[in-house]
Amino acid sequence: MDKVKISAVSYLNSKPFIYGLENSDIRSKIDLQLDIPSVCAQKLLDEKVDIGLIPVAVIPKLHEHYIISDYCIGAEGKVASVMLYSDVPLNKIENVFLDYHSRTSVTLVQVLAKNFWKIAPTWINAEVGFENNVSGNSAAVIIGDRTFGLEGKYKYSYDLSEEWQKFTGLPFVFACWVANKELSADFINSFNEALRWGISKMPKLITEIENSATYPTNIDFYLNHNISYDFNDRKKKALELFLSYLG
C-alpha cells in the first residue's frame, strides 16, 4: 500500500501536530514532509502530496478539497505570529511588503485594509530580506517564527488575528488539514487521533522544545494561549466568512 503523502508546516505552532504524526502508529502509513506554508499549498495544488496543512486562502484554488481534520491552526484574539509592523500608524502607511511564506496572511491583511481599516496602500510582493525595508511609510506583514523577538522593534504592530476579531467578533483560521482527494474513513480517524494525541502531550513537547532549541518567546503561552487548535463551529463560521471575501 502506498504511503499517504503529507506536507506540514514547519513552524513552532505546528509542532504538536508533527509530534503526534511522528510518534503514533500512523507514522508507518505516511510520508511526512515539512515545509513553509506557501510550499505546503503548492505541493497540494500540484498533487505532489495528498494532504497539506495549508493556508486556508488556497482552498478555493483546489480542483477538489476535503477538510479532513477536527484540528487547525487558529486563534481566538491575538495569535502573536501573524503581524503587520510599521513605524507609522495605519492611516499613514503607503506601502506594505507581503510575506512570501503564506497566502492567507497576505489575503487577510488586504481584507482588513479594505473593509476594516479603510486604507489603500500599495501592495508589494516581498522577497528574502524584506524585513529590513520596514521604514518611513512602508510596513510589512511578517509571519511565523520570524516574528519572535520583534516585539518593540517597530513603533506600531498590528496582530492580524486580533484585528480580524475586532472586525468580525470571530476567531480566525490560518491553516487547515486539507486533502485533494477522498481518503478512507479509517485513515482519517487514525489521522485525527494522531493529532489529538500530539496536542495532549503538550507539556512533554514544550519541555523537549525548550531543551533542544532557543525561541525568543514564551513557548508555553504561545502554544497554549495564542494558538487555538480545535476546528470548532465558530472557527468554521469564521472560515466561511473569510472565504466569502475572496470572491
pLDDT of residue 100: 83
Average pLDDT, the chain: 94
Domain 4-74+171-244, classified CATH 3.40.50.620, yes or no: no
Phi-psi category of residue 57: left, alpha or beta, with phi > 0 → left and psi -120 to 50 → alpha: alpha
- In 3D space, the residue among 115, 23, 130, 35 whose CA is nearest the CA of residue 45 turns out to be 35
pLDDT of residue 135: 87
- Residue 130's pLDDT is 78
Check: CB of residue 78 under 8 Å from CB of residue 227. Answer: no
pLDDT value of position 128: 79
CATH superfamily, region 82-168 = Periplasmic binding protein-like II (3.40.190.10)
What pLDDT does residue 199 have? 98
Q: Report pLDDT digits (tens) over 119-159.
A: 999 999 888 777 777 889 999 999 988 888 888 889 999 99
Distance in angstroms (rounded) separating the CA atoms of residues 71 and 196: 8
Q: What pLDDT does residue 1 have? A: 58
Domain ranges for the chain, please list them.
4-74+171-244, 82-168
Identical fold at 4-74+171-244 and 82-168?
yes
For residue 204, what are the contacts with CB-CB under 8 A and spacing of at least 6?
none
pLDDT digits (tens, 9 = 90+) for 61-116: 999 999 999 999 999 999 999 999 999 999 999 999 998 887 899 999 999 999 99
Note the pLDDT tens digit of each residue in 46-64: 999 999 999 999 999 999 9
pLDDT digits (tens, 9 = 90+) for 172-211: 999 999 999 999 999 999 999 999 999 999 999 999 999 9
Q: What percent of the chain has pLDDT over 90?
A: 83
Q: Give the DSSP H or E segment for 173.
A: strand 172-179
